[in-house]
Amino acid sequence: MSEADTESRARRDEIWIEKYRPETLDDIVGQETITERLKSYVARNDLPHLMFSGQAGIGKTTSAQAIARELYGEDWQEHFLELNASDQRGIDVVRDRIKNFARSSFGGSNYRIIFLDEADSLTSDAQSALRRTMEEFSNNVRFILSCNYSSQIIDPIQSRCAVFRFSPLSDDAVEEQVRIIAENEDIEVTDDGVDALVYAASGDMRKAINGLQAAAVTGEVVDEDAVYAITSTARPEEIKEMVTEALEGDFLAAKATLDELLTDEGIAGGDVIDQLHRSVWEFDLDDRAAVKLLDRIGEADYRITEGANERIQLEALLASLALDD
């Protein structure tokens, strides 16, 4: 094995989502409106408390770290404390660490940053306590709260933060990043492989990059088949087939297709629902059928979230499509 080969092997052991995590706000893709505003805070060295909300893998943690890098340079980690609000040891541990970090700050005109991940996992009592902590230490620290759902954060905290809603990344943004990484890692990816990664990721850059790395492990060309197998995602055609069968009144065929997805391919029922939801408008349904399908998706999604059996809910959805006209 040549030296170059050994080196590229070694590189493949790294986790790509970390290796390719953008270091500056300028390098973050697809969130330009947000990063422009964040850059102006940095330029003025005047950071309010911030709240980042949005789905997983779209740049919230990355943006917080980039702000710290730009404000503090090389030794940014000394001025940046990353905590997870859902810390198993409890909110008291989180609060103690916040207090210790805030107290040890230098005061004066300068401040440090506390990045609190999964802030929406805090109970409203814990959030009230957090709000007092934010006030108590606002001379020394700025908080960046990160959450998936901003509606889970109490108003008094939201009103103390500049709120930024991160969007799911566009397919183009995901595709571009996937191609850059593949080229850099010397991975051969087919066009349908890229499309499949983008589809499976559904706006989540972490998922796309992890999918690429997992599919590339075999050393073979990364194509559609490799991607769908590794990401437990149904092919859009399979979803379409299942819905069409149900709408044509052939419940048994639809159920067989569903079984294939859930049992043979090991796809989670909740993911099938998500994929259904994303594809409704790509099925060529007439408006009435599309609306009915959406209505049933909403119902099944809610019930599954509330703990209902996924398979039963999906079968019931197909049954209701198959039943009437």
Interface residue with Mg ion among 61, 140, 213, 233 (CB under 5 A) is: 61
Stretch that binds ligand ATP, among 21-29, 76-84, 221-229, 313-321 (CB under 6 A): 21-29
Interface residue with ligand ATP among 25, 30, 47, 243 (CB under 6 A) is: 30
Contact 163, 186 (CB under 8 A): no
Percent of the chain as helix, strand, coil, to the nearest 5: 65, 10, 30
Q: Does 56 bind ligand ATP (CB under 6 A)?
A: yes
Q: Which is nearer to ligand ATP, 173 or 314 (CB)?
A: 173
- Taking the C-alpha atoms of residue 275 and residue 286, their distance in angstroms, rounded to an integer, is 19
Tokens describing residue 213: 């790395």
Query: Is there a binding annotation on residue 61?
Result: yes
Query: Is there a binding annotation on residue 58?
Result: yes
31 interface partner picked from ligand ATP, Mg ion, none, CB below 5 to 8 A per type? ligand ATP
Q: Which is nearer to ligand ATP, 140 or 177 (CB)?
A: 177
Q: What is the DSSP letter of 261?
A: I
Stretch that binds Mg ion, among 14-22, 53-61, 227-235, 276-284 (CB under 5 A): 53-61
213 interface partner picked from ligand ATP, Mg ion, none, CB below 5 to 8 A per type? none
Instruction: Count Cβ atoms within 10 A of the Cβ of residue 129 and give its class: 0-12 exposed, 13-18 middle, 19 or more buried.
Output: middle
Instruction: Count Cβ atoms within 10 A of the Cβ of residue 189 and give its class: 0-12 exposed, 13-18 middle, 19 or more buried.
Output: buried
Q: Which helix (H) or strand (E) holds 212?
A: helix 205-216
* Residues written for the chain: 325
CB of 59 to Mg ion, least distance (A): 9
Q: Does 210 bind ligand ATP (CB under 6 A)?
A: no
Instruction: Tell me how far the alpha carbon of residue 252 is from its chain's centroid.
Output: 35
Query: Is there a binding annotation on residue 57?
Result: yes
Binding site members for ATP: 54-61
Contact residues toward Mg ion (CB under 5 A) are 60-61
Contact residues toward ligand ATP (CB under 6 A) are 17-18, 20-22, 28-31, 56-62, 117, 169, 177, 205-206, 209
